[in-house]
Amino acid sequence: MQQQLTEEAKKELEKQQYRVVGKHSAVKVCGWTKKMIKGEGGCYKLKFYGIMSNQCMQMSTSISCANRCTFCWRGYKAPVGKEWEWDVDEPEDILKGSLHAHKKLLDGFGGHPSANKGAYEASKTVRHVALSLTGEPITYPKMNALLKRFNQEHISTFIVTNAQYPEAIRDLEPITQLYISVDAPNKALLKDIDVPLFSDYWERLNKSLEYLAQKKERTCIRLTLIKDQNMCDMEGYVALIEKGDPDFLEVKGYMYVGASQQRLTYANMPMHEEVVVFSQELVKLLPDYDIVSEHIPSRVVMFAKKTFQKADGWYTWIDFPKFHELVLSGKEFTSYDYLRKTPQVGISGKGTTEHNAMIKEKREKKKEFFVNEMTDELEFWKE
Ligand code: SF4
């Protein structure tokens, strides 16, 4: 029998500022999109890759997922399943419906006193879609047709997958940047952290990494560090990273937000400084990579293959017009064909220390204060 989102579940999602699109997709305005419109800076993907946060739409083509990750902000009532169990909406309807819902959600910013007029006007033209909001987007059976439509609209695409559907990764058409989440360094820990539905979850992750390594376009592996749980077994991480052979690596701290608070504790959230120390240890074991940049509010460090460094600096930003030209040409291309120079690189020790001193102080004062403060971080943490 086909799954249906109950009216109650839909209402609950809408209460959390989601908009359900059709039968299985959802949109929600990212906290960074709002911040950028208010002139308060962009997300780490602006700093690392050149994504304009005010022109980004965050969505998923599947509300359902095959894992119950402990660190996920989703509650255990959120739909789960191994196979696709929904009626299939048409790509055109998802494209139009999600753009419409996104724009409506942003409407309120038009007359908002803190909105930057230029940034708000630009936000009406979506230029990027982050397919990573909730659930596992890659299971949508017509994903390639939807990607084609985004390409035709000159909207770049990032997909984040939990690596439980290797064949879907293998069969995916070129996208702007493809992510795999590697949530643990070994089989036993992956079971504890991801609580997968599939019994062959480890084989699925490894197969997915093999397929990732075969991709020609930009690829990235994301680690989510949970203090006292998966900040260990460096060799395990190295083996998985080498298997996936990504262009980029993001090492990001877990955020104590949403329903994850029922499963983990505040102490499981590493400080940025700890993410940096872990990254510095990890990079020593990855001779093909270097640390390029960090985003302190997001507690994330970005690595790139050394081949992305030219004589005049790092090239990790995306040349979007070039990407669209290449993808629409139908010809083969690689990650190196649509690069731009990264304007700001390096790890700022000063910023790190100040930031952590501030966080420590908050930590001592009142946990709730910090959690409220970090609500917006949920938006990029969850990807
Ligand atoms: S964090 Fe992700 S969803 Fe939010 S603006 Fe950046 S790329 Fe878009």
Task: Judge whether 131 and 158 are in contact, CB under 8 Å.
Answer: yes
Give the pairing type, strands 128-131 and 156-161.
parallel
Q: Dig out the tokens for 192 from the structure.
A: 């504890």
CA dist 46 → 42, 128, 293, 381 (Å) = 6, 11, 12, 15
- Rounded to an integer, what distance in angstroms lies between the CA atom of residue 198 and that of residue 216? 28
Amino acid at 220: C
Residue 47 in contact with ligand 1 by CB distance below 6 A: no
Q: Which pLDDT does position 342 carry in this prediction?
A: 97
Cβ 305 under 6 angstroms from ligand 1:
no
Q: State the distance from the centre of ligand 1 to the C-alpha of 364, rounded, in angstroms.
A: 30
Give me the pLDDT at residue 105, please: 93
Predicted pLDDT of residue 373: 39
Say what the pLDDT of residue 163 is.
95
Any idea where the domains of the chain sit in the sequence?
A: 7-381
Q: How far apart are the C-alpha atoms of 131 and 191, rounded to whole Å?
A: 24
pLDDT at res. 369:
40
DSSP run (H or E) holding 324? helix 320-329
Residue 372 has a pLDDT of 41
Q: Is 377 in the pocket of ligand 1 (CB under 6 A)?
A: no
- pLDDT (0 to 100) of residue 258: 81
Q: Is 133 in the pocket of ligand 1 (CB under 6 A)?
A: no
Q: In the CATH scheme, what is the code of domain 7-381? A: 3.20.20.70
Residue 216 identity: K
The residue whose C-alpha atom lies closest to atom 1 belonging to ligand 1 is: 380
Q: For ligand 1, atom 4, which residue shows the shortest CA distance?
A: 30
- Tell me how far the alpha carbon of residue 365 lies from the centroid of ligand 1, in angstroms: 30
**Cα dihedral 193, 195, 199, 204 sign:** negative
Strands (E), the chain: 19-21, 25-27, 56-60, 128-131, 156-161, 177-182, 218-225, 248-253, 289-295, 300-305, 309-310, 313-314, 317-318, 339-340
CB distance 308 to ligand 1 below 6 Å: no
Average confidence (pLDDT) per 10 residues, the chain, 383 residues:
74 83 92 91 95 95 87 77 89 97 89 84 95 87 96 96 96 96 98 95 98 98 97 98 98 90 92 93 98 94 98 98 97 97 84 57 51 39 35
Residue 374 CB less than 6 A away from ligand 1: no
**DSSP category for residue 67:** B
- Dihedral sign of CA atoms 222, 228, 229, 231 in order: positive
Cα of 119 vs its chain's centroid, Å? 22
